[in-house]
């Protein structure tokens, strides 16, 4: 979309709404991607920290 006239935001970014409440579900403990996820969760790492290792 084209930027409307007179649009302004702090550092060109405006936070407007929040995500709707999420639903808690059980993920299946299987596969390489889950194991990577479990490793991150147990060591409280983020994606980017994980990438660096």
Partner 1 sequence: MSAQTDPAQRVAIGISFGNSYSSIAYTTGDGKSEVIANEDGDRQIPSALSYVEGEELHGGQAKSQFVRNAKNTAAYFRDFLGQQFESIDPSPCHQSAHPIQHGDGVAFGIRDTDEDKENTVTVGDVTTRHLKRLRSSASDYLGKDVNAAVITVPTNFSDAQKEALKKASTDAGIEVLQFINEPTAAVLSYDARPGAQTADKIVVVADLGGTRSDIAVVASRGGIYTILATLHDYEVSGFKLDQVLIDYFAKEFVKKHKSAGDPRENDRSLAKLKLECEAVKKALSIGTTANFSMESLVGGVDFTATINRTRYDLLGSKLFAAFTRLVTHAVEKAHLDPLDVSEIILAGGNSHTPKVASAVRSAFPDSTTILAPSTSSTAINPSELSVRGAAIQASLIQEFELEDIEQSTHPMVTVTPHLSTAVGVLCISGDESSGIFHPIIDAETSLPVRRTATIATPREGGDVLIKVAEGSRHIKVTKPESKPKSEKEEADDEDSDEDESDEEEELREKTWKVGKTLSEAAIRGVKKGGKVEVQINIGADLSINAIFREVGAKGGIRGIVQGHKTNGST
- Pick the closest to residue 29 from 37, 40, 21 (CA basis): 37
What is the contact mask toward partner 1 in residues 1 to 40, using x (rule: CB under 8 A)?
Answer: xxxx--x-x-xxxxxxxxxxxxxxxxxxxxxxxxx-xxx-
Closest separation in Å from C-beta 53 to partner 1: 16
With CB under 8 A, what is the number of residues at the site for partner 1? 38
Among 6, 41, 52, 53, binds partner 1 (CB under 8 A): 41
**CA 46 – CA 25 distance, rounded (Å):** 21
Contact status: 49 vs partner 1 (CB under 8 A): no
Task: Write the burial class of residue 14 (CB in 10 Å: 0-12 exposed, 13-18 middle, 19+ buried).
Answer: exposed
């Amino acid at each position: 979309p084209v930027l409307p006239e007179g649009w302004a935001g702090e550092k060109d970014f405006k936070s407007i709404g929040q995500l709707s409440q999420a639903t808690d579900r059980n993920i299946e403990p299987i596969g390489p991607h889950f194991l990577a996820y479990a490793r991150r969760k147990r060591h409280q790492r983020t994606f980017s920290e994980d990438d660096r290792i």
